[in-house]
């Protein structure tokens, strides 16, 4: 038996317009917050300290926002969209204000002060942010029919793409130029990254409170506290394991394995509890709906592949193309332009045709094509060549940003739209986290296998090559760090040689035993080194000259005519008066005097010879360091490019799986009115009414 649905509520154009604008502002705030903070983090760490907590600023928001998504969805079905959205906005704005105040003196040591305060407040911000995404799409589903809804879904997808580009730009600008003194109180620029949410959020909150109708479906039931606890117990350990695995802790560490185990056990308990609960936080009967299940699977898979591209293409631009971190974010503009264009276009076309499946299939095929052309990049790929490839990827991604959500909302009973919409967002976020973990591990493994193929095998420099941090290659400092490492290695070796040349016996022994140093350099240090060689040479020279001078004038002339006689000595010989060589006694005395003078210069000559030899070695080492640094830099670029291409190639296979699921997606006729029940799925679903 079915119950008659009340007459559909007709919303005024003003209600629709103001609500839609308010929702777009809310959606923009939530999407922007995911990207705007990253560029401010170096300055935040500098002022709040706590570098060891760096990742928790993002992780706290991720955990709070992800676990609350399905809970808010269920609550909005029970108590209406408007109160849940208002609570979400209020929590988000409160969290934003407190984030901006983190580390201020008036907060004292609350929650441990500094960075720990920011982490707690980011968690509060995430609790509110979860309601923004979830409620926005559910409210659109309540107020607009699917045909019209697709058009607005495209706009929201465009807002998401735009925020991905604007976030780093706005965050960087506010951090660098936003510092200001207001009423005698100095506010650092990075704090405006959070404070900027307040005026926009206040405007959106006013619009929602004043003009948005209070939609409710009068869904009977109560809050599923056990389900909420179990979904939190399932999600948080899973997200922590995926976030920490392979970075903070090895994948096979006891901590990561325990987190996965806790998540798995909690999931089993969640399924057992929800199967018998008519008020389940995530009704398992939804998974019997093919459209719901297949759409979530396809969206999950495509989102997982998408994050691998979005996360690591900027790193490719930084490491290989030498683009700065800020400019690499701007270089993602072609991808976002394609995403915005196709998202809006697909939404409008679905509104006209009433069929979403062809556009989802077409978008996924274009995405595969775009990812394939990305696998053709190399170290010589220009930014333009990379840009048009990214544009194609964006074109392929656009339809999936909103149309899977439209398909899900169109296929479920009206009283479950909130939980169905939230589950879609929940699985997307889980897919993003899993994708980041999988592709991060893939990239690291590929780097470890590819880099040795391209890094030069230079004698004595193996350690310098091995010590390059494969997991933290940065465009802004990567090449400089490589040069510094190589130069430091050569400097260390040169200092040892310098000590050896200056008579350090231990250093001499180490140099002589080093198999990587050339034989001619070692020969210089053998048998007493340069000083002994100079002593031998000067003694022989002094004896030869003394013997010649004892022969008188004939000996002097012979020395002057000998090309081997040093010019300085020839000058001294010419200056000798004739009387100095006139008699055998005088010649002998002069010979002794010249001999003693030559031997007296031994220390000076030895020092000059040492300085000259070290200067040549220093010059040779500098040339070698520059050459090796360039070889390693080139090798890193080649190896990194090969690793990224392997990783992108893997994403093609993942997207192909998503294409298969999309092909299997049933075609459900779009409802002609938002209050129309899905008769072929649940004829008894109550229609929404208005609460005044």
Is 44 within 8 Å of 190 (Cβ atoms)? yes
Tokens matching residue 670 = 């779009």
Q: Which CATH number covers residue 80?
A: 1.20.1250.20
Residue 219's DSSP bridge partners are none
Confidence (pLDDT) at 364 = 93
CB within 8 Å of 375: residues ≥ 6 apart: 645, 648, 649, 652
- 161 class by beta-carbon count within 10 Å (0-12 exposed, 13-18 middle, 19+ buried): buried
Q: How far is 522 from 517, CA to CA, in rounded Å? A: 7
What's the sign of the alpha-carbon dihedral 327, 328, 334, 336? negative
Report the first-to-last Cα separation within the chain, whole angstroms. 30
Q: Are 396 and 372 in contact (CB under 8 A)?
A: no
Torsions phi, psi of 533, nearest 5?
A: -65, -40
C-alpha 212/C-alpha 206 separation (Å) is 10
Distance (Å) of CA 73 to CA 102, 300, 421, 431, 470: 30, 18, 7, 18, 41
- 181 occurs within a structural domain: yes
Residue 91 lies in a domain: yes
User: Which of the 8 DSSP states describes residue 576?
Assistant: S
Tens of pLDDT, residue by residue over 549-567, are 788 888 878 878 888 877 8
* C-alpha dihedral sign at 114, 123, 158, 363: positive
Measure CA 613 to chain center: 47
Position 372 in a domain: no
Main-chain phi, psi angles of 181, to 5 degrees = -110, 120
| Residue 347 domain flag | no
**Nearest alpha-carbon partner for 190 in 103, 94, 93:** 103
> DSSP class of residue 4?
P
Regions in the chain scoring below 50 on pLDDT: 1-7, 459-461, 463-478, 677-692
271-306 pLDDT, tens digit per residue, is 988 887 887 888 888 888 999 999 999 999 998 888
The number of angstroms, rounded, from the C-alpha of 335 to the middle of its chain's C-alpha atoms is 17
Residue 615 burial class via C-beta count within 10 angstroms: exposed 0-12, middle 13-18, buried 19 and up: exposed
Backbone angles phi, psi at 282, to 5 degrees: -135, 90
| Residues 424/296, Cβ–Cβ less than 8 Å | yes
| pLDDT for 392 | 94
> Please, is 348 exposed, middle or buried when counting C-beta atoms within 10 Å of its C-beta (0-12, 13-18, 19+)?
middle
Q: Is the residue at 292 inside a domain?
A: no
Q: How many domains does the chain have?
A: 1
How would you label 258-279 residue by residue, b for 16+ Cβ within 10 Å and e otherwise?
A: ebbebbeebbebbeebbeebeb
User: What tokens were used for 48?
Assistant: 């709040």
Q: Rounded distance, CA 470 to CA 670, Å?
A: 50
Three-state secondary-structure class, residue 185: strand
Q: Is residue 195 part of a domain?
A: yes
What pLDDT does 477 receive?
Answer: 41
What are the angstrom distances between the C-alpha of 579 and each of 553, 555, 559, 587?
Answer: 10, 14, 18, 9
Contact status, residue 262 vs residue 233, Cβ threshold 8 Å? yes
378, 345 in Cβ contact below 8 A? no
Q: How many CA atoms lie within 13 A of 224 on its CB side?
A: 28
For residue 193, give both structure tokens. 């990254």
Range of the domain at 193: 11-224+277-281
| Relative orientation angle of helices 529-549 and 478-501, to the nearest 10 degrees | 50
- H or E element in which residue 526 lies: none
Report the distance separating Cα 403 and Cα 350, nearest Å. 9
pLDDT of residue 303: 86
Looking at the domain assignment, is residue 525 inside a domain?
A: no
Note whether residue 513 is domain-resident: no
Integer Cα distance of 468 and 465 in angstroms: 6
Element (H, E) at 288: none
């Amino acid at each position: 038996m079915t119950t008659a649905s009340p007459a559909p509520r007709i919303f005024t154009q003003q209600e629709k317009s103001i609500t839609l604008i308010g929702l777009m502002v809310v959606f923009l705030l939530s999407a922007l917050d995911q990207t705007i903070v990253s560029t401010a983090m170096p300055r935040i760490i500098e002022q709040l300290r706590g570098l060891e907590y760096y990742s928790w600023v993002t992780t706290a928001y991720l955990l709070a926002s992800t676990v609350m998504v399905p809970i808010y969805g269920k609550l909005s079905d029970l108590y209406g969209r408007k109160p849940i959205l208002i609570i979400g906005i209020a929590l988000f704005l409160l969290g934003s204000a407190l984030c901006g105040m983190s580390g201020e003196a008036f907060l004292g040591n609350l929650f441990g002060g500094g960075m720990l305060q920011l982490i707690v407040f980011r968690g509060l911000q995430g609790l509110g942010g979860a309601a923004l995404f979830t409620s926005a799409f559910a409210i659109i589903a309540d107020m607009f029919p699917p045909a019209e809804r697709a058009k607005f879904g495209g706009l929201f997808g465009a807002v998401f793409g735009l925020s991905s580009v604007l976030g780093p730009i706005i965050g960087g600008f506010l951090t660098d130029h936003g510092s200001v003194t207001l009423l005698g109180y100095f506010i650092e620029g990075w704090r405006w990254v959070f404070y900027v949410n307040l005026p926009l959020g206040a405007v959106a909150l006013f619009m929602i409170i004043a003009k948005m109708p209070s939609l409710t479906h009068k869904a009977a039931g109560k809050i599923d506290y056990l389900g909420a606890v179990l979904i939190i117990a399932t999600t948080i350990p899973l997200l922590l394991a995926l976030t920490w695995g392979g970075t903070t802790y090895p994948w096979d560490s006891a901590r990561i394995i325990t987190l996965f185990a806790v998540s798995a056990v909690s999931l089993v308990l969640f399924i057992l509890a929800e199967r018998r609960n008519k008020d389940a936080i995530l009704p398992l009967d939804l998974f019997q709906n093919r459209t719901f299940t297949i759409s979530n699977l396809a969206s999950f898979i495509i989102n997982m592949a998408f994050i691998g591209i979005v996360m690591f293409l900027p790193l490719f631009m930084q490491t290989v193309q030498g683009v700065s971190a800020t400019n690499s974010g701007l270089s993602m503009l072609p991808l976002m332009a394609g995403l915005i264009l196709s998202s809006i276009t697909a939404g409008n076309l679905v509104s006209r045709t009433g069929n979403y499946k062809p556009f989802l299939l077409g978008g996924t095929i274009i995405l595969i094509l775009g990812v394939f052309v990305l696998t053709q990049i190399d170290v010589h790929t220009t930014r333009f060549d990379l840009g048009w490839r990214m544009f194609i990827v964006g074109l392929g991604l656009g339809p999936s940003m909103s149309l899977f959500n439209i398909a899900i909302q169109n296929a479920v009973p009206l009283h479950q739209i909130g939980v169905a919409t939230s589950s879609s967002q929940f699985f997307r976020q889980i897919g993003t986290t899993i994708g980041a973990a999988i592709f991060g591990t893939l990239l690291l493994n590929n780097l470890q296998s590819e880099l040795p193929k391209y890094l030069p095998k230079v004698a004595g420099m193996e350690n310098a090559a091995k010590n390059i941090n494969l997991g933290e290659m940065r465009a802004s400092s990567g090449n400089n760090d490589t040069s510094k490492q190589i130069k430091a290695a050569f400097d260390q070796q040169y200092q040892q040689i310098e000590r050896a040349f200056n008579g350090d016996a231990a250093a001499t022994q180490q140099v002589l035993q080093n198999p990587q140093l050339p034989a001619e350099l070692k020969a210089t240090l053998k048998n007493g080194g340069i000083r002994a060689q100079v002593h031998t040479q000067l003694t022989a020279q002094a004896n030869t000259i003394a013997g010649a001078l004892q022969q008188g004038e004939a000996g002097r002339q012979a020395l002057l005519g000998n090309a081997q006689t040093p010019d300085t000595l020839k000058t001294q010989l010419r200056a000798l008066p004739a009387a100095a060589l006139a008699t055998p006694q005088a010649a002998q005395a002069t010979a002794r005097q010249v001999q003693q003078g030559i031997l007296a210069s031994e220390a000076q000559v030895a020092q000059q010879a040492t300085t000259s030899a070290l200067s040549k070695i220093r010059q040779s080492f500098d040339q070698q360091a520059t050459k090796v640094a360039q070889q390693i830099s080139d090798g890193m670029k080649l190896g990194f490019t090969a690793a990224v291409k392997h990783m992108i190639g893997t994403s093609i296979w993942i997207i192909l799986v998503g294409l298969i699921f999309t092909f299997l997606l049933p075609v459900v006729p779009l409802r002609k009115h938002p209050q129309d029940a899905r008769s072929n799925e649940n004829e008894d679903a109550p229609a929404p009414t208005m609460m005044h």
